[in-house]
Structure 1
């Protein structure tokens, strides 16, 4: 006798909700592993020259 049923979604939703479908944890610094090196290099320079806090303090003195 030939096999007929290849797929079913029966009970999958219940199994998923038993422990709750959770959102991924939000991290302060997400990983940059595998990201575009050119973009990361530019990000590094942008961070290095982003002196908005320190610039205003040094101008007053």
Structure 2
């Protein structure tokens, strides 16, 4: 079984802009991580993030330390 394969449908953030055209879509993967893709070009590929990497990403967003 591919643990990076999405096990749920991709969804857009409720924080996306009004027209929802510039969004990142996220889906849960079998290993508890996340898959992400561009909503405008979903066929152009998906990035896969382990549960640990996804948690670190969310923490850095909350703490305001992303990219610092």
**TM-score, normalized by the shorter chain, greater than 0.5:** no
Quick check: which one's strand share is greater?
Answer: 2
TM-score (norm 2): 0.30
Quick one: higher RCO (CA 8 Å, sep 6+), 1 or 2? Answer: 2
Higher Rg of the two aligned structures: 1
What TM-score does the superposition give when structure 1 sets the normalisation length? 0.33
